[in-house]
Amino acid sequence: MSYKCWFQCIDPECGEKYPISTVIYRCKKCDSLLEVSHDMGALAEHDGPWWRELFSGRYKSSSWPYGSAVWGKKEWICPAVDDKNVVSMYEGDSNLFWAERLGKIIGLEDLWIKLCGNSHTGSFKDLGMTVLVSMVKQMISEGSGIRAVACASTGDTSAALASYCAAAGIPSVVLLPAGKISAAQLIQPISNGSITLCLDTDFDGCMAVVKELTKENWIYLANSMNSLRIEGQKTVSIEIVQQFDWNVPDVVVIPGGNLGNVSALGKGFEMMLELGLISKRPRIVCAQAARANPLYLSYLKGFEEFKPVEAGKTLASAIQIGNPVSFNKAVAALRRFNGIVEQATEDELANASALADLTGLYNCPHTGVALAVTFKLLRQGKIRPSDKVVVISTAHGLKFSQFKTDYHLRRLEGVTFDYANQPEEIGADLDSVKRALDRRIGEWQSVEIDWSKWER
């Protein structure tokens, strides 16, 4: 069976199609975003159970490249890439963690955290970047004139691009907002040999420059406006369902910045519904930082209008975006999945993240945003205590150790430190240690949530 995919304009009234190996990011006729479309008729020649079995059979297998949770679903993702051109780090298959203790504390028995940050470069961006860089390698092998791949980034896209390009031997260029990403995120592209350029602006400013830069056909754009990335990222929905033995959760909560990932989540569920792998829709919740909340503001007005905002400084730096590229795609997905958008303040995201860490996680501030929103919606009755809820954790906490250090040492502005755990310096003798233990062992168990904070 041969499967096909192509770029298609997302505006149904236009619907223009372009071959998948075209260097193109927006529709030439109407300037809308594009999406990758698949020959659903060909895919539908097999039924849902057939696909489930195929995907399960490839799970962690050693036959290249199908052990990757992205390429294990190659027919649904990007069948145009030859196996020999796949650039893969065996992405996906990240743990779906049953947050039993955190769930008990907040009164949600069936709470799960999808740890997408447990990945090669420490964020979910690997899922999409493997598809994009593989397609670039394919195009180069077909004689296209691409000489480099570029992106604007809040830190994680650049880390993923740098690593995958380094593995493939393709030059990469990253445009970063100077001083606005974590130290770990800055050193990642530097280490991988990327041309690392720090611009005195914010993410939206870097995005504007990279869009101009990539008008030159020899520099390929790697931002999520390039819908190849969405194809890889949509596998997160398939993985979640697969990890629940093909059952669909009631609610999925995901942090949103440029809004590619929430659209990808919707697209994955949509495809499983269409091809008969599942028969139910989850509710999708998009969680935004209150200081960078253009989708939330639009949601309050029923998505009737959209105004970009100037993003304020937030601890959730990877979603500090005021003019999200994938706004229209995200709204379409939220409309189909009974969507909710909620926001979290700095105080809320920092404390939610710290509380979750006290139950064994080591989560990033964006996961903190999603957790804080989960707490709030539970309090508001929009999530029920009996719901099966999945929170998408987008990056590994180790990339954000400064945020955690500042929290536990009480160095953050505008944050109450409900769960700060300060290290103590004491004398180097048994008595001092015993005295410290006597003081602290009693309070250790008492991790609780103060609901008054979550009722706003």
Ligand X SMILES: *Cc1c(COP(=O)(O)O)cnc(C)c1O
Rounded Cα gap, residues 23 and 26, in angstroms: 10
What does the angle CA 326 – CA 317 – CA 223 come to, to the nearest 5 degrees? 35
Q: What is the dihedral of CA 253, 257, 263, 268, to 10 degrees?
A: -50
| Interface residue with ligand X, options 364, 383, 390, 449 (CB under 6 A) | 364
CB closer to Zn ion out of 16 and 418 = 16
CB closer to ligand X out of 66 and 124 = 124
Rounded Cα gap, residues 193 and 171, in angstroms: 8
The CB-of-155 to ligand X minimum distance in angstroms stands at 7
The CB-of-30 to Zn ion minimum distance in angstroms stands at 3
Position 14 contacts Zn ion (CB under 5 A): yes
Contact 158, 318 (CB under 8 A): no
CB closer to ligand X out of 156 and 342 = 156
Strand ranges of the sheet holding 388-393, from the earlier edge strand across to the other edge: 96-98, 110-115, 388-393, 251-255, 283-289, 340-344
The CB-of-136 to Zn ion minimum distance in angstroms stands at 24
Contact 15, 28 (CB under 8 A): no
Length of the chain: 456
Give the footprint of ligand X on residues 67-106 (CB under 6 A): none
| Interface residue with Zn ion, options 23, 27, 106, 265 (CB under 5 A) | 27
Position 366 contacts ligand X (CB under 6 A): yes
The CB-of-28 to Zn ion minimum distance in angstroms stands at 8
Rounded Cα gap, residues 25 and 207, in angstroms: 13
CB closer to Zn ion out of 181 and 332 = 332
The CB-of-328 to Zn ion minimum distance in angstroms stands at 12
Which range of residues in 21-29, 101-109, 278-286, 317-325 is near Zn ion by CB under 5 A?
Answer: 21-29
Draw the binding track, 120-139, toward ligand X (x: CB under 6 A; -: no contact): ---x-x--------------
| Interface residue with Zn ion, options 5, 7, 8, 9 (CB under 5 A) | 9
Written as one string, the DSSP assignment of 320-374 is --SS-TTHHHHHHHHHHTT-EEEEE-HHHHHHHHHHHHTTT--B-HHHHHHHHHH
Hey, is 5 helix, strand or coil? strand
Q: How many residues bind ligand X (CB under 6 A)?
A: 17
Position 339 contacts ligand X (CB under 6 A): no
Draw the binding track, 248-287, toward ligand X (x: CB under 6 A; -: no contact): -------xxxxxxx--------------------------
The CB-of-149 to ligand X minimum distance in angstroms stands at 17
The CB-of-41 to Zn ion minimum distance in angstroms stands at 23
Rounded Cα gap, residues 204 and 319, in angstroms: 11
Hey, is 150 helix, strand or coil? strand
Draw the binding track, 187-226, toward ligand X (x: CB under 6 A; -: no contact): -------------------------------------x--
Name the token pair of 284: 């999708």
Position 343 contacts ligand X (CB under 6 A): no
CB closer to Zn ion out of 11 and 250 = 11
The CB-of-230 to Zn ion minimum distance in angstroms stands at 17
Q: Is 273 exposed, middle or buried (0-12, 13-18, 19+ CB in 10 A)?
A: middle
Contact partner at residue 224 from ligand X, Zn ion, none, CB < 5 to 8 Å by partner kind: ligand X
CB closer to Zn ion out of 26 and 388 = 26
Give the footprint of ligand X on residues 156-185 (CB under 6 A): 156
| Interface residue with Zn ion, options 3, 4, 6, 16 (CB under 5 A) | 16
Q: How many residues bind Zn ion (CB under 5 A)?
A: 8
Contact 172, 149 (CB under 8 A): yes
The CB-of-259 to ligand X minimum distance in angstroms stands at 5
**Which positions ≥6 away from 302 have C-beta within 8 Å?**
none
Contact 189, 158 (CB under 8 A): yes
Give the footprint of Zn ion on residues 29-88 (CB under 5 A): 29-30, 32
| Interface residue with ligand X, options 77, 272, 377, 395 (CB under 6 A) | 395
Rounded Cα gap, residues 289 and 437, in angstroms: 38
**Which positions ≥6 away from 149 have C-beta within 8 Å?**
132, 133, 136, 161, 165, 170, 171, 172, 173, 219, 220, 221, 222
Please choose, from the candidates 280, 290, 239, 237, the residue with its C-alpha nearest in 3D space to the C-alpha of residue 262. 237
CA within 13 Å, CB half, 4: 9
Contact partner at residue 30 from Zn ion, ligand X, none, CB < 5 to 8 Å by partner kind: Zn ion
Contact partner at residue 14 from Zn ion, ligand X, none, CB < 5 to 8 Å by partner kind: Zn ion
Contact 340, 308 (CB under 8 A): no
Instruction: Tell me which residues touch ligand X (CB under 6 A).
Output: 123, 125, 156, 224, 255-261, 318-319, 364, 366, 394-395
Residues forming the site for Zn ion (CB under 5 A): 9, 11, 14, 16, 27, 29-30, 32
